[in-house]
Amino acid sequence: MQSTSSAQSCPVADVICRTLELGIHITGAHITDDDVTVIEATPREPAGFCPDCGAEGRLRDHVIRHLTDVPITGHPTRLHVRLPRYQCVHPQCRRSIFQHPLEAAEPGAKTTKRATTWILKRLIHDQMSIQAISKALGLGWDLVNHLAINAAKSLVYADPDHLSGVRVLGIDEHCWKHVRGQGEDSFATIFVDLTPLIDGTGRARLLDVKAGRSARVVTTWLNERSPAFRAGVEVVTMDGFAGYHTATMESLPESTPVMDPFHVVQLAGQKLTACRQRLQQQIHGHRGRKKDLLYRGRRTLLTRRSLLNKRATDRLERLWAEHDDHVALEVTYLVYQDVIDAYEHPDRKTGRRLMQAVIESLRRGLPKGLEELAQLGRTLWRKQAQVLAFFDRGGASNGPVEAINGRLEHLRGIGLGFRNFEHYVLRCLLHSGQLSARVNAL
């Protein structure tokens, strides 16, 4: 055991270890055989007044309080604070003995407040795993996880302003654990505040995560919110899932549902791919092979027209001229590009007219051989109010929600898989809930 100790305080060490902010002075230190730095300290200004009656007490003895603090130079740190205990001399006071209060830690806690804040910062800023944080602090995984969960709950659910100001709400689902035979309990529905992004004041923030993906999940979550919150939501962005739309209309009848452009374009692209695969089977009698022009053009067909180079354009020209039946694919391709052009147009009013024209053209009778376009037309006609609402409501979309889903995919990689859903939810909120400012203010 290496040891350096002194009966007097060490101002230099206090500055280096930042113990002044804890209200204590360093009086000694040593390193244990387990490579843990132990700092011995005493209060800077002992408080010898009874917390009940306020009378000055008489020194009785001292106790040593053991606390885990933030790592120093990459090594786990323990504080051994020598706290005085006093005896209350007031004859009518019920308290006989009281101890010097230590503001650096909660009563009965084994870690300092700044250690808990350090855990949150490592989770949010550095995206460390609980296991890595546990190793840095020299604590068990369960204890660090418990501290993180309780601190995250106080930051999110105990904050009365957590859900205030939400006017644009995004809803989407993702798979939170990948296991064999995964069922409904492997999916989660996320709720995202898109208001800061629409207003240009900040980024989208994750509000909550609920198990399952159904209308019941969304309805339950919305009904648990206050009437003021529900009245303030003006726009709800989502994909084409009918369950989310039904739940939104029931719980938020005054809001405007918006079908995300990404999913509309994806739907049109799926119909284009289905048409190509159908023609592949009809003409060649087998699935696509690398020498088949239909197969070789699969990625070119899904590329935005304005991004095509000369080689890709020539490939499409050869594809249209290769077979007479390819005219169905060409028509489907042109509709797919028209959908993209409508969303790409800088003027939303013009974009809305272009999208309305696409929907109405597909609604009319289509020639035989355009089965995929007919299916697309029926879907767009049925959801045209949600599709066109994108152009009327300032371009609100689920794109940022999909981006948060992507960040949560990265989070699952950091965690090497999650089995505890409560832990997963709070890690998600710390990861994508825009809580950095609140943590830094602790």
Q: What is the pTM of this model?
A: 0.74
Average pLDDT across the chain, whole number: 86
The predicted structure's pLDDT at residue 5? 44
Asked whether residue 440 carries a pLDDT value surpassing 90, the answer given is no
Asked whether residue 417 carries a pLDDT value surpassing 70, the answer given is no
User: Residue 392: which pLDDT band, with cuts at 50, 70 and 90?
Assistant: confident
Q: Can you tell me the distance from the alpha carbon of 92 to that of 90, in angstroms, rounded to the nearest whole number?
A: 6
pLDDT tens across 309-358, in order?
999 999 999 999 888 889 999 999 999 999 999 999 999 999 999 999 99
Torsion, CA 333, CA 339, CA 344, CA 348, rounded to 10: 160
For the chain, how big is the Rg over CA atoms in Å?
A: 31
Phi first, then psi: give them for residue 114, nearest 5 degrees.
-70, -20
| Nearest one of 29, 103, 1, 118 to 69, comparing CA atoms | 118
- Listed in sequence order, the residues at least 6 apart from 143 whose beta carbon sits closer than 8 Å to its beta carbon are 110, 134
pLDDT tens across 255-303, in order?
988 888 888 999 999 999 999 999 999 988 899 888 888 999 999 999 9
Q: Can you tell me the distance from the alpha carbon of 410 to that of 431, in angstroms, rounded to the nearest whole number?
A: 10
411 class by beta-carbon count within 10 Å (0-12 exposed, 13-18 middle, 19+ buried): buried
pLDDT tens across 136-194, in order?
999 998 899 889 888 888 888 777 778 888 999 999 988 887 765 555 578 889 999 99
Which segment of 15-24, 33-42, 286-295 scores lowest on mean pLDDT? 15-24
